[in-house]
Structure 1
Amino acid sequence: MNVVKKTPTIQDVARFASVSTATVSRALTSPERVSEHTRARISEAVRVTGYTPNQSARSLRQKTARTILVALPDIGNPFFSVILDAVEREAAARGYGVLVANRFSGGDSGVRMRDYFMSNRVDGLLLFDGSVDLEQLMLLTGGPTPFPLIVVCEEIPHAPFHTVKTDNSYAAERATRHLIELGHRRIGHVRGPQGNVLTMEREAGFRRAMEAAGLDTPPQWLLPGAFEMEAGAMAAQHFMALDKRPTAVFAANDESAIGFISGLRQHGLDCPADVSVVGFDDLALSAHVWPPLTTMRQPRAALGRIAAGALIDVIEGERNSRVPMHMVLSSEMIVRGSTCRPPAPATPLLQPADLVLP
C-alpha cells in the first residue's frame, strides 16, 4: 500500500516554531517586521518541515530573496522574449530566480517597486521602461541602502543609473546610409511613440545620415508612428496622401516596418519595387514576412545576459552601485529583400511634334 506523504503547510511551520500562522506569513513576506530571533526559529521550522525550498529558508536568514525583478512596458511585445530568456538563464546559472512585472509605469510605480524591495521579494531591478518617474526612482535608489537598479534598452536622461543598451542612434544612421548607398535620395522615416527616448535617438541617427549626404528631410516625410504594426499601417495612409513620396523609408522598429509594408500593399504599392523599407530590432518574424525585412539586429540575448549579470554583481557587492556603468552594445546590419535600388525615372514618351523627319 502506497502512503501519500502530506504536503507541509504554513500551520505545520507555525506549530513547530510555536508562533501564529500570521507571524509565519510576515516572516516570509516582510521579514523586517519580525525579530531576528523569531525569524531564526521560523527559518528552522521551514527547513525541518520542508514547507518551502531551502532557498526560502536561506533568504530568511540572510534577508535576501535571491530573486531579481524585471519590469517591462509591454510583456506582449515579442521584442522582449529573447531578452527575458537570456535574463532567466544568466540568473539561474548564478542561483537567482526572476520575477516579471508588466506595465510598470504610472504614478504608483515607485510605490510598487519599493513594496517589492521592502517586502524582501526581490533583491534588485532590471528596468526596461524609461517612462517611470525619475523622482521616484531617485528616492528608491538613494539613501543608506539603495535598491540595486539597472536600466536596460532605454536610457533615462540625466539619471545616475547603470545602463545596458544598444547603439540606437548610430544603428539608425547606419540603416539610413544603407538606403543612401543604394541610390535613394528621397527617404522618409516612420517614427516611434512620441516622447520615447528610443524614438528620439533613432530619429537623430536618421537625420544625421541625411544631413551628411546633403539630403533634405521635409517635415511631412517624418511619419507619425509607434512600435506597433497598426501604427505602421496608419503611417502608410499618411504616406499615400503625400504629394511627393519618398522612394525609401526607415522605420523605428520592425513591427512598424512590417505594418507599413502591409499598408503599402493595400494601396497597390510593392516593396521594394516601389518603396524600400528598413526596420530595427530583427525580430524572429522579420526573416519570414514577405518580403523578408532588411533591419538592424539588436544583440538581444547579449543585452539580457549582460544586464542580469551586472545586476547580480551589484547585489553581491562585486560592482560599485554608486558609480554608474554605461554599456553600449553594437547592432548589426541585416540586408534582406525589402530594400533595393530606387526605381528608374520613367522615360517620357515621344510626341508627334518631337519627331524630326529626314
Structure 2
Amino acid sequence: MSTATVSRALSSPERVSDGTRARVSEAVRVTGYTLNQTARSLRQRSARTILVALPDIRNPFFSSILDAIEREVTARGYGMLVANLYFGHQATRLQDYLLSNRADGLLLLDGSLNADDLRVITSAPYSVPLVVACEDIPNSGFHTVVTDNVQAAERATRHLIELGHRRIGHIFGPEQNVVARDRLAGFNRAMNREGLPIAPEWVFRGSFEMDSGFAASARYMTLADRPTAVFAANDESAIGFLSGLRRHGILCPRDISVIGFDDLGVAPHYSPPLSTMRQPRETLGKMAAEALIDLIEGRQGNGTPLRIVLQSELIARESTGRPAELASA
C-alpha cells in the first residue's frame, strides 16, 4: 500500500474504500501511530486551533461553557487556546494570537470589546472567523450565540410577583456590561407591566461578584422601607446578598425572597437552595464552537450573520416564597 493511499485514508477517509480504510486502521492500531498535527498544520497553513477569549477566568460561570467548547473542538479535530482578558489590552492580545497564525478563529465570550477593533481582524485582508457568545455586542453584525437575558430576567421578576410580592428590588451588575443592562431591562419591564413602583434605593448597583451582593445587603439594612423580594443579576451576587443578610438576622425566605441567575453548581446546595434562571451553558458552548468551526471550514451559510438565542429555564427552589404578610394570613 502506497504512502499516498495511507495519507488519504487518514486525512480524507471518505476518498478510500472501506477495505483500505480498515487495513490502514488496523496498521495504526498495531504500530501505535498518531497523526502529527503540527506538521499537518504547517502543510495546510492552518493551526487547527481556536482561540477562546473570556473576561475573567476566575468566574465559575464559564467552567461548563469551556468544558463544552473543548469537547466539541476536540471531536472536530481541533485544539483550543484560552485568553483571559481580565488584565486589559484585549484587542492587542487577540491580534497577537490570531495574526501570528496560532489560531484559526476566535470564540469571544466578552461583549465589552470595541466592535471596530474586532473588525480589523475579521475584515480583509485577515478575515479571521469570529463568533460572539454569552455576551452580545449590539448592532455589530457578528455571528452570535447568546441566551434570552431580557426575557429571562422578566420571567424571574414575574415569578416573585406571582408569589405575591409587590415591593421588589434588584441587584444590578456592572453598568458597562451588556448582560447586566439586559437583565435590568427585563426587571423594569416586568415591574412596569404590573404597574409596580421601582424605588431607586431598591436597585443596588455593583458587580457580578459575591462581594457586590454582600455590600448590597449592608445598603439594604439601612433602608427604612425595604423590599420583600430581590432579583439578583447573577447567582454570585445573590449568594453574597443572602450571606450578608444572615449576619443581620434576616432569614430567607421567611423575611425576604431572593432569585438569582445562571444556576451555578453551588445554587442547589446553598442554604436555602437558590431559585434562579438556568442558562443552557453546555448547549451554548457546544453550539458556539460548532458555529466557529463551520465558519473556519467554509460551511456557514450565505454570509448572513448567524444569531442563535437560547432560552433560560426558571428553577424555583426554597429561596423564594410568599411574602410574610401573605404567608401568615
For this structure pair, what is the TM-score category when the shorter chain's length is used for normalisation? 0.7 to 0.9
Partner of 2:114: 133
Partner of 2:4: none
Partner of 1:228: 209
Deviates more, 1:315-324 or 1:302-311: 315-324
Choose the corresponding residue for 2:221, options 228, 240, 252.
240
Q: What is the Cα deviation at residue 320 of structure 1?
A: 4.5
Task: Return 5+ residue gaps in structure 1 as ranges.
Answer: 1-51, 348-358
Q: Render the CA deviation track for 1:88-145: whole Å, top value 9, x for unaligned.
A: 0000000001111112673x32222222122211000111111122221111111144
Higher relative contact order at CA 8 Å, sep ≥6: structure 1 or structure 2?
2
Partner of 1:39: none
Given the alignment of the two structures, is residue 72 of structure 1 paired with residue 54 of structure 2, yes or no? yes
Q: Render the CA deviation track for 1:44-84: whole Å, top value 9, x for unaligned.
A: xxxxxxxx961010100111001011101111111011001
Distance in 2, matches of 1:284 and 1:343, equals: 29
Choose the corresponding residue for 2:42, options 51, 60, 64.
60
Task: Return 5+ residue gaps in structure 2 as ranges.
Answer: 1-33
Q: Report the 3-state secondary structure (helix = DSSP H, G, I; strand = E; otherwise coil) of the residue aligned with 2:314.
A: strand
Given the alignment of the two structures, is residue 189 of structure 1 paired with residue 189 of structure 2, yes or no? no
Equivalent pair of 2:154/2:189 in contact (CA under 8 Å): yes
Distance in 1, matches of 2:301 and 2:295, equals: 6
Percent identical: 61
Choose the corresponding residue for 2:324, options 343, 347, 350.
343
- Map 1:242-261; keep pairs closer than 5 Å: 242-261=223-242
Give RMSD over aligned pairs: 1.7
Task: Give the counterpart letter for 2:63 in structure 1.
Answer: S
Q: What is the Cα deviation at residue 323 of structure 1?
A: 2.4
Equivalent pair of 1:117/1:147 in contact (CA under 8 Å): yes
Partner of 1:302: 283
- Map 1:86-235; keep pairs closer than 5 Å: 86-103=68-85, 106=88, 108-235=89-216
Aligned residues: 295
Equivalent pair of 1:104/1:132 in contact (CA under 8 Å): no
If the length of structure 2 is used for normalisation, what is the TM-score?
0.87
Distance in 2, matches of 1:120 and 1:141, equals: 14
If the length of structure 1 is used for normalisation, what is the TM-score?
0.80
Q: Render the CA deviation track for 1:127-174: whole Å, top value 9, x for unaligned.
A: 111112222111111114411111110011221111100000000000
Distance in 2, matches of 1:252 and 1:105, equals: 23
Partner of 1:12: none
Equivalent pair of 2:133/2:145 in contact (CA under 8 Å): yes
Partner of 2:20: none
Distance in 1, matches of 2:327 and 2:277, equals: 32
Moved runs in structure 1, 4+ residues, more than 6 A? none
Partner of 1:24: none
Equivalent pair of 2:90/2:113 in contact (CA under 8 Å): yes
Task: Give the counterpart letter for 1:258 in structure 2.
Answer: I
Q: Report the 3-state secondary structure (helix = DSSP H, G, I; strand = E; otherwise coil) of the residue aligned with 1:283.
A: coil
- Map 1:283-302; keep pairs closer than 5 Å: 283-302=264-283
Q: Report the 3-state secondary structure (helix = DSSP H, G, I; strand = E; otherwise coil) of the residue aligned with 1:308.
A: helix
Q: Report the 3-state secondary structure (helix = DSSP H, G, I; strand = E; otherwise coil) of the residue aligned with 2:160.
A: helix
Q: Report the 3-state secondary structure (helix = DSSP H, G, I; strand = E; otherwise coil) of the residue aligned with 2:197.
A: coil
Distance in 1, matches of 2:171 and 2:112, equals: 21
